[in-house]
Structure 1
């Protein structure tokens, strides 16, 4: 191995090849719209089985740039790495995001950890100028918007 190669920094790569024009992408202005977009991307066979976390990447006009799977956990929890979350959002040039995870139990009330993580990500987003519009907790029967319920 060449000596210079050992010092080369590994980089997260994101391929950006839009298949649709910006005006053809869904625009999200309500939590209900975000919930519907998320449900379309969720594996409904797993929503009551394992906890998963995803995020919607948005442009300045709140048009969906994409939906990213952040993590898959067990029956009661999943881990979101904020460094990975923001590296993806920055690479996609997202100006805002909507977080989402499911509670397999069907209980839509946010846990202490849900609240702590949301606040941590919200504060980091301020520094990076990426707004966190909402954090949805979903189940197969409904959702809770942390923004609408004044949790954030």
Structure 2
């Protein structure tokens, strides 16, 4: 009896080399890069969760838009998120989402998700360097700067 199974292939290809301008050195630097990836016409409309993917030198490999939700939340599937982190060979990540309300405060679910992500990342030797919350008015909240992470 012949048993058929699906073959799984993994690949990673950079379309351009990272440059010196793409090095993350601070939360303000990361927030600036992340703001550029958001649509300013919808940042106050719905919550979006993104991940800034970094190499060992904190050079940006890319930004992964994980989910787009509603006015008060979005779903984060850690398994799918880490599939992208591992496939991109990232060694550091910065989590990011926006608060359409403009409220720059980490909610209990935000804190719980961050801790869950830190724990999961530890199993893969990936560092969660920060979790940044963006507001529609150009300001941000950094878990690292606030001593939460």
Query: Which TM-score applies when normalising by structure 2?
Result: 0.92
The corresponding residue for 1:96 is 92
The corresponding residue for 1:124 is 120
Contact kept in structure 1, 2:99 and 2:136, CA below 8 Å: no
Q: What is the alpha-carbon root mean square deviation over aligned residues?
A: 1.8
* Number of equivalent positions: 148
1:24 CA drift (Å): 5.0
Mapping of residues 69-148 of structure 1, within 5 Å? 69-141=65-137, 142-148=139-145
CA distance in 2, matches of 1:33, 1:114: 21
Unaligned stretches of 5+ in structure 1? none
List, as ranges, runs of 4+ consecutive aligned residues in structure 1 with deviation greater than 6 Å.
Answer: none
Unaligned stretches of 5+ in structure 2? none
User: Residue 62 of structure 1 is aligned with which of 58, 68, 72?
Assistant: 58
CA distance in 2, matches of 1:17, 1:57: 14
Query: Which TM-score applies when normalising by structure 1?
Result: 0.90
Q: Which whole-Å deviations, capped at 9, do the CAs of 1:101-120 have from their partners, x for residues lacking one?
A: 00000001011000000000
CA distance in 2, matches of 1:30, 1:67: 17
1:140 CA drift (Å): 2.0
